Amino acid sequence: MLAEYLPTLLFLIVALGIGIALIVVGNVLGPKRPSAEKLSPYECGFNAFEDARMQFDVRYYLIAILFIVFDLEIAFIFPWALVFRELGVFGLVEMGVFLALLVIGFIYVWKKGALEWE
């Protein structure tokens, strides 16, 4: 039984070996000319003016999460569209329920004001 996993194990060992070898070769043979300008932090072409650990508005995260949730519906619609004819009316009703729940969620988020930006 373990013999079935031997090709996968060999592949992982070779991939790990190549990755480590490339990193080592790059560090050994690569040019090393550090300067004050190369070692300084870079932020959009000018010097950093604030601490990197400043607080972000929670709305950034909320918008990102909402984008992911509503974008993932496409991941469910594509496979459904491929087998739509085999699913028939049952598949159509199932997708209708799924999309209706997404629309209800979108309306809820909209009414709560989560999409408003001041």
Residue-level pLDDT at 109: 85
Distances (CA, A) of 37 to 8, 34, 43: 45, 8, 13
Measured over the CA atoms of residue 26, residue 28, residue 31 and residue 32, the dihedral's sign is positive
Q: Which pLDDT band, with edges at 50, 70 and 90, does 18 fall under?
A: very high
pLDDT of residue 24: 97
Q: Provide, rounded to the nearest whole percent, the portion of the chain with pLDDT above 90.
A: 29
Give the residue extent of every domain in the chain: 2-112
What per-residue confidence (pLDDT) applies to 32? 87
Q: Which of 19-28, 67-76, 85-94, 103-112 bottoms out in mean pLDDT, i.e. has the lowest?
A: 67-76
Q: At 104, is the pLDDT very low, low, confident or very high (cuts 50, 70, 90)?
A: very high
Q: Which of 57, 68, 53 is nearest to 105 (CA)?
A: 68
DSSP 30: S
The dihedrals phi and psi of 102, each to the nearest 5 degrees, come to -65, -40
What pLDDT digit, counting tens, does each position of 41-68 carry? Answer: 666 666 666 666 777 777 788 888 888 8
Taking the model in full, what pTM does it have?
A: 0.48
Pick the closest to residue 66 from 95, 112, 97, 106 (CA basis).
106
CA distance 116 to 109: 10
Amino acid at the residue 25: V
Tokens 């009703």, located at residue: 93
Output the pLDDT for position 34: 85
CATH of 2-112, one of 3.60.150.10, 1.10.3720.10, 3.30.710.10, 1.20.58.1610: 1.20.58.1610
